[in-house]
C-alpha cells in the first residue's frame, strides 16, 4: 500500500524547465564559477536573480562549480554539485549575454 503523504510533490511528469546560466559568484574569501538555473519567463538576468534571492530557501544549488581564491588560486577540485549559502554571496555576474 502506498502512503500518499510519503510521495514527493515533484514526482511524476511535473518538471519545471529552467534555463542554465553560467555565472561568477563572489563571496568574501572566494570566487565560484558555476552554472545556476533560472526561470525562463523572467527574461532579464537581474529579474531572475532577484527571484532566486527572494525565494525562502537559504541555499542556491549550483553545478559544474570551480572554486578559486579571489586571486585565482584553485581551492579543491571541480564539483558537479554544491549549494551556496545566499547570505555569503556578495556579487554575481553572468558569464554570457544570453539573458
Q: What is the pLDDT of residue 1?
A: 47
List pLDDT tens digits, range 7-44.
455 555 677 789 999 999 999 999 999 999 998 898 89
Q: Position of cell 554539485?
A: 81
Instruction: Give the chain's domains with CATH numbers.
Output: 16-94 (2.30.30.100)
45 neighbors 99 (Cβ within 8 angstroms): yes
The mean pLDDT value of the chain amounts to 88
Q: In terms of pLDDT, which residue wins out, 57 or 4?
A: 57
Amino acid at each position: 500500500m502506498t502512503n500518499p503523504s510519503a510521495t514527493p510533490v515533484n514526482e511524476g511528469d511535473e518538471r519545471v524547465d529552467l534555463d542554465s546560466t553560467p555565472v561568477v559568484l563572489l563571496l568574501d574569501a572566494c570566487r565560484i564559477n558555476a552554472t545556476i538555473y533560472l526561470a525562463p519567463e523572467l527574461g532579464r538576468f537581474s529579474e531572475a536573480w532577484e527571484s532566486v534571492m527572494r525565494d525562502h530557501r537559504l541555499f542556491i544549488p549550483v553545478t559544474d562549480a570551480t572554486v578559486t581564491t579571489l586571486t585565482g588560486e584553485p581551492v579543491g577540485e571541480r564539483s558537479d554539485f554544491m549549494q551556496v549559502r545566499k547570505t555569503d554571496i556578495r556579487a554575481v555576474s553572468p558569464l554570457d549575454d544570453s539573458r
